[in-house]
Amino acid sequence: MATTVENRIGTEAKVLQSYLGGKWQAGSGQGAPLTNPTTGETVAWASSQGLDLKGAMEHSRNVGGPALRKLSYGQRAELLGKIADTLAARRDDWFEIARKNSGNTKADASIDVDGAIFTLKYFAKSGGKLGGARMLRDGAPMRLAKDPNFQGLHVGVPLDGVAVHINAFNFPAWGLWEKAAVSLLAGVPVLSKPATSTAWLAQEMVAAVIDAGILPDGALSILCGSPNDLLDHLRLGDVVAFTGSADTGEGIRQHARVRRQNVRVNIEADSLNAALLGPDAASGSPEFNFFVREVVREMTSKAGQKCTAIRRVLVPAEQAGAATEAIADALSKVVVGDPANAMTNMGPVVNMAQRKSVEEGIRNLGTQADVAYMPENFAPLDADLARAAFVAPTLFSAHKNPEADLVHQLEVFGPVATVVPYRDKQHAFELARRGGGSLAASVYSGDTAFLAEAALALGTTHGRIMLIDPSIGDSHSGHGIVLPSCMHGGPGRAGGGEELGGLHGLWFYHQRVAMQGSGVTLKLMEEAAADPVSG
């Protein structure tokens, strides 16, 4: 049957269905509510109770996988292009759901929705360059022994299992498609599990793609509601790509099935990302102004609910006063309120539970740092604070103790950051590393030699480092924006994962095999394979 998505925008709240085993299915009972964080209203329910997840995974493996792998990379890339076009045609619908279920302003929704479409288009284009190949190669055949005819070649064979994608609540669109694009291009079917609280957008997007009949049966499934026994059915050839909190990530890594079967797992977890103002950057200099603008943008974009958002604001001690004042001044001009109001710059956090968690985080941070900015009489535009999930932008200062534990360890997932003064550059690098491994750092300086030194010093503890000198102050993509061409992930606390990075991301969905044979055989293999670097 075509999708029976009964929860179309504007209708009464309904129970989300899951698309598993090639059909739409409803879990039993009402399940968990999905709310509108601006009004507190319930917009949908999600239940996965009683769904046959074992059968769903078998369908993906036995039906979806073989159908996908009958196609070449180039043909699968074409499918991604069609998915992107299908989604782009309903952009306004996605923005509406993002506002109603995630409290997104148009700018917030664009990061999620347009980011998803852009990522799909990127892989449609770059994947097309792999043409008719059905496996990857890494380099060229090499001689292995005295006999020059005995050679070796590393190739990548697409996995024959299912890719289980578990996503966080803050990017229901981008989180779904940035993972699915790479997996589908690789030839591995996807079973996506969005976070329950914002699953509506993910579910509607999957429904649109299923309705359009773009993908073979079994190539794309979605589970709405709690994961239940999902991980119990993993086996050799499956992968898990997880995005979410460090605690849940740790639980997945420790899952008995994951450990016993050595199931490949990628973890994208939380992170206390830093922005670092160089020692040379005086108040009022271009680099100072770019820095302040970026900190404020990162604190308020998506109400601070980006895993890459700036949480720690490292400034030379002599600039701490000026930087704090400039950031506080800009924050005081941010209009917080109903994202439907065109005046609004920042919407609510995702729901009341998240508001409670952020408020608790603010209280805890306040035990080790001083409040530098918090609006008095906080009253969001067109919203009732008794029912709505708004949190005021809040800036702390760690001037009394820049090393304070919580400043470097507690991720408050909302519009909250702390200014941390440093003595000299070595102190700045040491403070940045105290995050224990982060997704992203950005450094702002007019001194390019300092930027290069910072890059090296921070490289082992960060997945991405943005080095901003004034020549790119206005043209860079933003501290918190993940680009499909660049690797996303970070060491240590950030999960130790790697996603995207252009076609390099395909390797996660392939088994790398060292092939050894005669020159003629390996030449054949070389010709049948595509190099993700050179095509």
Chain contacts with ligand NAP (rule: CB under 6 A): 166-171, 193, 195-197, 226-227, 231, 243-245, 248, 251-252, 268-270, 307, 411, 413, 439, 495
CA distances from 20 to 25, 55, 63, 69, 162 (A): 7, 8, 12, 20, 12
**Residue placing its CB nearer to ligand NAP in the complex, 231 or 428:** 231
Amino acid identity, position 242: F
Neighbours of 261 (CB within 10 A): 14
Min CB(53)–ligand NAP separation in Å: 11
Min CB(109)–ligand NAP separation in Å: 16
**Residue 150 burial (CB < 10 Å; 0-12/13-18/19+)?**
middle
Q: Which residue is nearest to ligand NAP (CB)?
A: 244
Q: Using CA atoms, how far apart are residues 48 and 17, in angstroms rounded to an integer?
A: 8
Q: Using CA atoms, how far apart are residues 33 and 366, in angstroms rounded to an integer?
A: 32
Min CB(178)–ligand NAP separation in Å: 9
Which entry of 287, 294, 307, 499 is annotated as an active-site residue? Answer: 307
Residues 6+ apart with CB under 8 A from 147: none
- Read out DSSP for 431-468? HHHTTSSEEEEEEE-S-HHHHHHHHHHHGGGEEEEEEE
Min CB(125)–ligand NAP separation in Å: 23
Amino acid identity, position 465: I
Min CB(463)–ligand NAP separation in Å: 9
Task: Choose among 446, 359, 443: nearest CA to 394.
Answer: 359
Min CB(450)–ligand NAP separation in Å: 28
Min CB(151)–ligand NAP separation in Å: 40
**Residue placing its CB nearer to ligand NAP in the complex, 3 or 226:** 226
Q: Using CA atoms, how far apart are residues 241 and 253, in angstroms rounded to an integer?
A: 11
**CA quadruple 166, 37, 49, 11: dihedral, nearest 10:** -120
Min CB(241)–ligand NAP separation in Å: 10
Which entry of 96, 178, 204, 268 is annotated as an active-site residue? Answer: 268
**Residue placing its CB nearer to ligand NAP in the complex, 70 or 356:** 356
SS3 318: helix
- Scanning 161-277, the segments in alpha helix (DSSP H) are 174-186, 199-211, 246-254, 256-260
- Read out DSSP for 384-428? -TTTS-----EEEE-SS-TT-HHHHH----SSEEEEEEESSHHHH
In contact, 420 and 309? CB cutoff 8 Å: no
Query: What b-and-e string marks burial along 432-464, b requiring 16 or more CB atoms within 10 Å of the CB?
Result: bbbbbbbbbbbbbbbeeebbebbeebbeebbbb
**Residue placing its CB nearer to ligand NAP in the complex, 268 or 287:** 268
Tokens 């000299």 found at: 424
Min CB(47)–ligand NAP separation in Å: 11
Q: Which two tokens stand for residue 265?
A: 């797992």
Query: What b-and-e string marks burial along 343-359, b requiring 16 or more CB atoms within 10 Å of the CB?
Result: ebbbbbbbbeebbebbb
**Residue placing its CB nearer to ligand NAP in the complex, 103 or 316:** 103
Q: Using CA atoms, how far apart are residues 520 and 507, in angstroms rounded to an integer?
A: 25
Query: 307 catalytic, yes or no?
Result: yes
Min CB(303)–ligand NAP separation in Å: 13
**Residue placing its CB nearer to ligand NAP in the complex, 224 or 277:** 224
**Residue placing its CB nearer to ligand NAP in the complex, 390 or 413:** 413
**Residue placing its CB nearer to ligand NAP in the complex, 280 or 359:** 359
**Residue placing its CB nearer to ligand NAP in the complex, 124 or 195:** 195
In contact, 421 and 402? CB cutoff 8 Å: yes
**Residue placing its CB nearer to ligand NAP in the complex, 167 or 394:** 167
**Residue 499 burial (CB < 10 Å; 0-12/13-18/19+)?**
buried
Q: Using CA atoms, how far apart are residues 517 and 137, in angstroms rounded to an integer?
A: 15
- Read out DSSP for 466-481? EEE-GGGTTTS--TTP
Active site residues: 268, 307
